[in-house]
Amino acid sequence: MNAYLDATHDPALRSWVESANAPCSDFPIQNLPFGRFRLAGETAWRLGVAIGDQVLDLRAAGLVDHADMNQLMQATPQERRALRLALSDGLREGSSQRTAFEAALVAQSAVELGLPCEVGDYTDFYVGIHHATEVGRQFRPENPLLPNYKWVPIGYHGRASTLLPSGTAFRRPLGQVKAPDAAQPVLAPTAKLDLELELGIFVGRPNALGEPVRMQDAEAHVFGITLFNDWSSRDVQGWEYQPLGPFLSKNFASTVSPWMVTLEALAPFRLPFERPAGDVRPLPYLDSAENRERGAIGIQMEVVLQTERMAQAGHAGDVISRSNFSEAAYWTVAQLVTHHTVNGCALRAGDLFGTGTLSGPEKHQAGSLLEMTTGGKNPITLSNGERRAFLEDGDTIVLRAYCEREGARRIGFGECRGTVLPSLQMQGEAA
The pLDDT mean for the chain works out to 96
In this structure, what are the phi and psi dihedrals at residue 429, rounded to the nearest 5 degrees?
Answer: -65, -40
User: How large is the average pLDDT for residues 101-110?
Assistant: 98
Kindly give the pairing relationship between strand 254-256 and strand 163-165.
Answer: parallel
357 labeled binding residue: yes
Q: Is the pLDDT of residue 339 over 70?
A: yes
Is 140 labeled as ligand-binding? Answer: yes
- Amino acid identity of residue 421, one-letter, is L
Does 42 carry a binding-site annotation? no
pLDDT reported for residue 426: 54
Annotated binding residue at 288?
Answer: no
* pLDDT exceeds 70 at position 197: yes
Does 198 count as an annotated binding residue? Answer: yes
Indicate the pLDDT class of residue 98, thresholds 50, 70 and 90.
Answer: very high
Q: How does pLDDT run across 263-279, given as a tens digit for each residue?
A: 999 999 999 999 999 99
In this prediction the pTM is 0.96
**Position 218 pLDDT exceeds 80:** yes
Cα separation of 204 and 348, whole Å? Answer: 7
State residue 428's pLDDT score: 45
Residue type, 392: E
Q: Which domains does the chain have, with CATH numbers?
A: 7-113 (2.30.30.230), 122-430 (3.90.850.10)
Q: Is 250 annotated as a binding residue?
A: yes
**pLDDT value of residue 403:** 98
Question: What is the pLDDT at residue 242?
Answer: 86
The answer to whether the annotation marks 241 as part of a ligand binding site is yes
How far, in Å, CA of 289 to CA of 5, rounded?
A: 19
pLDDT at 429 over 70: no
124 annotated as belonging to a binding site for a ligand: yes
* Known catalytic membership, residue 131: yes
Lowest mean pLDDT of 80-94, 129-143, 221-235, name the range.
129-143
Catalytic-role residue among 131, 221, 339, 340:
131
Backbone angles phi, psi at 81, to 5 degrees: -65, -35
pLDDT given at position 424: 87
